Amino acid sequence: MCNKLENIVVIGQGAIGLLWYHHLSQASIKSIINANVSLLASNQSQLSSNQLKSAQYQFTAYQHEKNNVYPITYTKTDDIKKANIIMLCVKSYHIASALQSIAKYVDPECKVVLAHNGMGTAEEVMKILPSTQPILAMLTTHGSLRITSLKIEHTGLGHSDIGLLAGELSGKQQRQLSKQLNKALPTVTLHKSIIEKQWLKLAINCVINPITAINDIDNGAVNDDKYSAQINRLLTEIAVISQKENININLTTLQKMVTKVARATAKNCSSMRCDVLAGKSTEIDYINGYIHRLGQQYDIATPENTRLWQQVQNLNSSLN
């Protein structure tokens, strides 16, 4: 079983979950990949058998105006038991609970892929699954906009990076997995060390997400001079903490990356700002909150990251 990738379960019907479900299921229908693909949604237990059978979602392809309607194949318990790949495309604070609800059915050789913002969930997952369970991180720069609960638009072409975080998986098995995903939604790049990529994305998220959420601005406005001192303080703290984690991040490189990403996504509303505006919980605990906790662990002050972590928490509590 360990070399087969015939059964794929995507967990989460948010923007990224539906994006991956769409591309994987369409690749399966077109025989680009040889796999059964199903979607596990948090609300499916509340659906009647007729609703489960007739469920549909709307998808607008990149640079297309017209959306098309596609059927949803919802995941059954048997699909989880047979799964060779489980992709967790839910918010970081839902990863552990989503996995706990199905853990007893997950095959010990199933590849568990974590696709979310922030860091710190891998430690939670390792407490739920066997120590040898292959756990991978996937980072994506694809733009996907959730318009309504089952209507999304692919707003920007990007790429995905994937790599092993824990457990056992041979080089051949890792390449096979990335090849399968690459056929569905290119480009997917396999990394021997995904943690460095995670830290770079974390640093960008630590700047753009809270600043846009607190100030209610589009991503591009982060490049305004009035935020530059604050950004430097945030990134300096992150660079110091990353070195304690044996990750060597150059401050100048980080500054250039933040400027570049803010410019490239200038008109976008960050996920954290969208969550705050919608009165939803944010992933701040796994972004600036992650830096705060590591700072405590190493007895290093992270005043700017801690302040933004607390400010976004307060934004959440004032809206709820």
Sorted by where each begins, the domain ranges of the chain are: 7-192, 196-319
Average pLDDT, the chain: 95
Q: Has residue 5 got a pLDDT over 50?
A: yes
**CA 103 to CA 172: how far, in whole Å?**
26
Q: Which phi and psi (to 5°) does residue 48 adopt? A: -75, 165
**Selection from 39, 33, 23, 32 nearest residue 142 by Cα:** 23
Mean pLDDT for the stretch of residues 116-141: 96
Was domain 196-319 assigned CATH 2.60.120.200?
no
**CA 244 to CA 179: how far, in whole Å?**
34
Model confidence, pTM: 0.94
Query: Which pLDDT belongs to residue 320?
Result: 52
| Burial bucket for residue 60 (CB in 10 Å: 0-12, 13-18, 19+) | middle
Does the annotation mark 280 as catalytic? no
Query: Which pLDDT belongs to residue 316?
Result: 73
Under CATH, which number does the domain 7-192 receive?
3.40.50.720
Query: Which pLDDT belongs to residue 2?
Result: 47
Quickly state the pLDDT bin for 45 (edges 50, 70, 90).
confident
Mean pLDDT for the stretch of residues 108-116: 97
Give the CA distances from residue 153 to residues 19, 22, 62, 146, 224, in Å, rounded to whole numbers and listed in that order. 8, 11, 7, 7, 29
Q: Has residue 8 got a pLDDT over 60?
A: yes
Q: How wide is the angle at C-alpha 109 spanned by C-alphas 103 and 110, nearest 5°?
A: 60
Catalytic residue among 197, 201, 226, 280: 201
Query: Which pLDDT belongs to residue 261?
Result: 94
Mean pLDDT for the stretch of residues 118-128: 96
